[in-house]
Amino acid sequence: MADLPTHTIVFEILTRLPAKDVGRSKSVCKQWYALLSTQDFVKIHCSRSVVSSNQRVLLIDDLTCSVRPIISNNNDYGPSSTVTFPFHHQNNDVSILSHLNGLLCVCLNHTYELLLWNPTTTAFKRL
């Protein structure tokens, strides 16, 4: 296993794992976290998973995020629709802690507040 190149492990093995296991693999080390967070990895992982026609990906930027449909036949994303955060935050201060069925558990790093957020409807609730 030690003789396998990192690229082979990440792009040939880890792209075939379920998303939950990929999330767990991000905690192995900083290098794996960085590799598993790249857009190339996400595209390949999505193309190898069973993707329904209504599958979406959420891409978070400094102040906004965008929701994009996944196009499975060419490993790309469709046109984006921008979603602004409906809660007050500072730049680079939003962390996604967990997700379930489209709902996100969000931490605001400057206040350590936890929110349950639905990016599709923009509704949120402070926990």
* Tens digits of residue pLDDT in 22-69: 888 888 888 888 888 888 888 788 777 655 556 677 776 655 677 777
122's torsion region: left (phi>0), alpha (psi -120 to 50) or beta?
left
pLDDT at 76: 62
What's the half-sphere exposure (Cβ side, CA atoms, 13 Å) at 54? 3
CB 26 within 8 A of CB 33: yes
Whole-angstrom Cα Rg for the chain: 16
What pTM does this model have? Answer: 0.46
Strands, sheet with 94-100, edge to edge from the N-terminal-most edge strand = 94-100, 103-108, 113-118, 123-126
CB 7 within 8 A of CB 30: no
Of residues 97 and 83, the one with the higher pLDDT is 97
- Least confident among 75-79, 107-111, 119-123: 75-79
